[in-house]
Amino acid sequence: MIGQLRSTVIDCPDPRALAGFYAELLGLPLVEENSDGDDWVVLGGSPGHQPRLAFQKALNLRAPAWPDPERPQQFHLDVTVDDIEAAEKAVLALGARRLPGEGDGWRVYADPSGHPFCLCWD
């Protein structure tokens, strides 16, 4: 092993707003002491404690356009849920939107900044 994952970093136009979305979705606390105003916002724990998500300001971000290969997804998270219907209702209420694509045990959504993520169930 060369290193340990520190954070998954997501570029977005409004880091604090997107961190709020994922805090609600995943139940991760905001770590204000590791954040830097509205330009760098951290959820989770201290470095080295997982899961940990960081959100970095990117003013001219070209949001992904699933499933268009000209603007690929760039990253995505798989989120396990117990009840897909209740989970879908909750993420849509938080500002997500449904995207084309689903399979046996997963559906695709976009967060409020356009990044794809999947809700998964067994």
* Span 40-86, pLDDT tens digits: 999 997 766 778 899 999 988 888 888 888 888 777 888 989 999 99
Q: Give pLDDT, residue 77.
A: 85
What lies within 8 Å, CB to CB, of 41 at 6+ separation is 15, 16, 18, 19, 30, 35, 54, 55
What letter does residue 29 receive in the DSSP assignment? P
What lies within 8 Å, CB to CB, of 50 at 6+ separation is 5, 44
The total number of structural domains that make up the chain? 2
Does 92 fall in a domain?
A: yes
Does 96 fall in a domain?
A: yes
pLDDT tier at 118, thresholds 50, 70, 90: very high
* Span 1-16, pLDDT tens digits: 676 778 888 999 999 9
Question: Quick one: 53 and 83 in the same domain?
Answer: no
Rounded average pLDDT over 88-93:
96
CATH code, domain with 53:
3.10.180.10
Q: Give pLDDT, residue 84.
A: 95
CA distance 115 to 104: 21
Of 42, 58, 31, 40, which Cα lies nearest the Cα of 7? Answer: 42
The pTM assigned to this predicted structure is 0.80
Q: Which domain holds residue 81?
A: 77-120
